[in-house]
Structure 1
Amino acid sequence: MSIVVTGATGQLGRLVVEELLARGVDPADVVAGGRSLERIADLAERGVRTVRLDYDDPATLDAALSAGDTLLLISGSQPGVRVAQHRAVVDAAVRAGVGRIAYTSILRADDTPLALAPDHRATEAAIRESGLPYTLLRNGWYTENYAQPLRQARETGVIASSVGDGRVASATRRDYAAAAAAALTGDGHENAVYELSGDSAWSFDELAAACSELLGREVTHVRRTPEEQRAALLAAGLDEGTAGFVVAMEGAVRAGALGSTTGDLAKLAGRPTTPLVEGLRPAA
């Protein structure tokens, strides 16, 4: 029986594998799956079993899974196709008879206004309907998502948004990876649902202050209406769909979708989550 991590060539999946090894899991008991074996060749050199695992190729899923395995399904990144991809993984897990399936879902999947939520709700439903024991890791926002605004602030001294007074309880990918590794290796996580977020929720005024500290220059949060933000994004060269998505996301933040501070992430990880400034420091 192994711990199988899908998406190990991605940022979160790679960190989960590294966290498992750091926690003393025998490398021979870890399976790292991804589309490109070259990107995880170094894990193979450390004794991890690496396999080609493609959500769009059921044969690779069947080859990667065995009876009794603990499977971590890292969410795919392509809206519109990932529900089908996730269902393919769940179906393969049923065929193999895995012992438990964990899934990286989205914070407050049941009631969040985030546009990404329907795919996650559909996947959660498929997992529950499978009859397999499960662990739902409902991840909040990654601090690393704000690396690009940080880089822009270096040049302009401005972070512009339509989030108003909305707050974000972000944490780093490494924080979420630590929680996932704990859920994969510990007891008592069967059929559990964890709402994972940072220990504190920050405003975009505080994000600007954090950027000021890291960059050594004054950074200001410029507040825009949704209409002003959409127009500015279009003027900057974004297409209609992308601009609309960004404004919708900022509307969800304004409505409180990412501000929940549940404490589940720190409890699972076994340590406090990374503060905003420290989480952004590598990008600075």
Structure 2
Amino acid sequence: MKFAITGATGQLGELVIQALLKEIDTKNIIALVRNPNKAESLKNQGIEIRLFDYDQPETLVTALVGVDKLLLISANEIGRRTPQHKAVIDAAVTAKVPYVAYTSLLNADKSALGLAQEHRETEQLIRQSGLEFTFLRNNWYNENYLANVKHTAETGTLYGSAQNGKISSASRLDYAEAAAKVLSSKGHENKTYELAGSSHFTLTDLASYIALASGKTVQYQNLSPENHTLALLNAGLPKELVEVIVDADVQTVNGAMYSESKDLEHLIGRKTTDIQDQIKNLF
């Protein structure tokens, strides 16, 4: 049985492949990549590399020939995801791939997050395709909150606009292990998994975790969405990214990042990675 992973050189894709290698033989894994030059480390592990560019539909069908299970990791170009995903789904149908797993978004069918619409559209395209599927509805990654931890410790202030909204995030590795488990085992056909962390935190909690790990005083400063937007723009972040960050915080207030689902815990057979432990490891 052949397993193909899109975005195989991306952060999630590489982790999925490493998790899959613990379950299945190297020769059964196909890395689908936009730039084969970035896949040398995978190639050196004996993994087959195939060119797979969402914007070059002629590459897609050929790359999917002989694939039994496809993991479609959602594309990263917000606003262009639906047509890109449609090209992959159409190619999978043409190539007679029987099954696709798709990394969607927590509660995609009802989430108020701006990012949710393209996930809803993709899920609908997959349902309409006739392919067997599994929807892996991933919540936010812990890593989304870790990039500026050291800077936050130095300045003493964590800024956001999430008030005391609860966040049930998990590590990228947790989601990767879940995807590998679903691909390499049976009984997941036509199921939807709501994947979220075993525990939750607020941004006030996050500030306290950074303070504890760094030995410095760190406090959370809640901003209005408008002031948060201005602060991020003034810090030099691109407008599109700022919109995603602020929208995520605003919807956190309304519960979009919180879930009591234990689907992720059950799939990986353990509690998810605690963000506090990841923060400790940064110092």
CA RMSD, Structure 1 to Structure 2 (Å):
1.7
- Residue type at the aligned position of 1:225: S
Report what 1:184 is aligned to.
Answer: 183
Q: Tell me the secondary structure at the aligned position of residue 136 of structure 2.
A: strand
Corresponding letter in the other structure for 1:206: D
Using the TM superposition, give the Cα deviation of residue 277 of structure 1 relative to its aligned residue in structure 2, in angstroms.
1.5
1:119 corresponding residue in structure 2: 118
Deviates more, 1:202-211 or 1:54-63: 54-63
Structure 1 residue 119 displacement after superposition? 0.5
**Residue identity matched to 1:16:** V
**Which string of whole-angstrom CA distances, capped at 9 and with x for unpartnered residues, describes residues 70-107 of structure 1?**
00000000112111110000001001111210000000
Q: Find out whether 1:273 has 2:272 as its counterpart.
A: yes
> CA offset at residue 281 of structure 1?
4.3
Aligned pair in 2 of structure 1 residues 240, 141: CA closer, same or farther (>3 Å)?
closer
Q: How far does residue 123 in structure 1 lie from its aligned partner after superposition?
A: 0.4
C-alpha distance in structure 2 between counterparts of 1:44 and 1:239, whole Å = 34
Question: In the superposition, relative to structure 1, how do residues 182 and 240 fare at CA in structure 2: closer, same or farther (>3 Å)?
Answer: closer
Query: How far has the Cα of 1:29 moved from its partner?
Result: 0.3
TM-score by length of 2: 0.94
- Shifted more, 143-152 versus 177-186: the winner is 143-152
SS at match of 2:134: strand
State the 1:59 CA deviation: 2.4
Instruction: Find the residue that maps to 2:220 and give its secondary structure.
Output: strand
Measure how far apart 1:250 and its partner are: 1.1
Give the match for residue 41 of structure 1: 40
- Is the contact made by 2:3 and 2:67 (CA closer than 8 Å) also made in structure 1? no
- Stretch of structure 1 that moved more, 171-180 or 33-42: 33-42
CA shift for structure 1 position 219: 1.2
Say if 2:262 is the partner of 1:263. yes
Q: Deviations over 1:220-263 (max 9, x none)?
A: 11122223323433443456655444322211111110011301
- Alignment length (residue pairs): 283
Q: 1:3 touches 1:71 (CA, 8 Å); kept in 2?
A: yes
The residue that corresponds to 1:3 in the other structure is: 3
Is there any run of 5+ residues in structure 1 with no aligned partner, and where? none
Distance 1:44 1:231 in 2: 44
Q: Does 1:69 find its partner at 2:68?
A: yes
TM score, norm. by length of structure 1 = 0.94
Q: Give the alignment of 1:1-284 within 5 angstroms.
A: 1-23=1-23, 25-67=24-66, 69-238=68-237, 242-284=241-283
Percent identity, please.
Answer: 42
Please state whether the residue corresponding to 1:42 is helix, strand or coil: helix
